[in-house]
Structure 1
Amino acid sequence: MKFLLTIYGNEEIWGSYSKEEFEALIAADAEFQREIRESGEFVSVEGLTDPANARTVKIREGVPVVTDGPYLESKEYLASFFVLDCENLDRAVEIAAKYPTAKTTGVEVWPLMEAGGTDV
């Protein structure tokens, strides 16, 4: 079963870290990635650029309307994501709990639909 782990950024929290704390967070991320790669559950990971670089597209009266970035109602934004291939939801939750930012901004776990659009 495949799962999406969404990792959220928060500039206020990240900006409060000392250089050493931030480096420790990066090292913990590297260790997390090493563990899931070795377990065979890693599929992919992607980081996202600053939300200011994103665009939101909506169709209004048949015309695409493009606005800068997502409209953020909170200080948190989608910063990166992992795709995992795990035995079940419980295992995906167990892995998500090990991600360093689970202690601050949290990690969402989303089961992915199977080919053909069916739920797992």
Structure 2
Amino acid sequence: MIMTFGDESAWDTLGLGGRESTWSQEQVDAHFQAMGEFYAELAANGELVTGFGLADPSHTMTIEIVDGRPVASDGPYAEAKEVLAGFGIIEVDSHDRAVELAARFSALVETRVELRPVMEQGGQEM
């Protein structure tokens, strides 16, 4: 899984969630076109399982069990300046290929990304 992190200003930059974009419409369009091309390449190669951007962090809920009952509260799941902004799940033949794709994606979104294996039931890496 390739996870993209950023701070909440990313939603402002792109004008997401009803926010006013700090980029020109041409910059926003170019960004989403580049992202679409990257995902299309992965799909054509059979390496893309799925991927999505996530909604504005203000829509986040935290769920926890308190005294045996689920309790939901509004707000980000962690006290942090950075939030999970999106993810892509890829299926590749090697660790090196996963690192290569994560590096390309990091350059594309101009921020760090986290690469983490997905576990199957029973704890085995996929």
**TM-score above 0.5, yes or no:** yes
Unmatched tracts of structure 2, length 5 or more: 14-20
| Residue of 17, 25, 34 corresponding to 2:31 | 25
* In 1: Cα distance, 2:92 partner to 2:112 partner: 19
Amino acid at match of 2:2: L
Q: Aligned AA for 1:8?
A: F
Q: State the 1:16 CA deviation.
A: 4.1
Q: Name which of structure 1's ranges 91-100 and 58-67 shifts more when overlaid on structure 2.
A: 58-67
State the 1:92 CA deviation.
0.8
Are 2:47 and 2:90, in contact at CA under 8 Å, matched by a contact in 1? yes
Task: Give the AA of the match of 2:80.
Answer: E
Query: Structure 1 or 2: larger strand share?
Result: 1
Instruction: Please report how far the alpha carbon of residue 33 of structure 1 lies from its aligned counterpart in structure 2 after TM superposition.
Output: 0.7
Q: Which structure carries more relative contact order (alpha carbon 8 Å, separation 6+)?
A: 1
Which deviations, in whole Å up to 9, do the C-alpha atoms of 1:31-88 show, x marking residues without a partner? 10111011110111123222222210111222222110214420x3212211110012
Structure 1 CA distance, aligned partners of 2:4 and 2:34?
A: 14
Q: Within 1, Cα distance between the matches of 2:125 and 2:40?
A: 29
Q: CA RMSD in A?
A: 1.9
Inter-CA distance 19–72: structure 2 relative to 1 (3 Å threshold) = farther
TM-score (norm 2): 0.77
Partner of 1:73: 80
Q: Secondary structure at the match of 1:7?
A: strand
Give the aligned partner of residue 46 of structure 2: 40
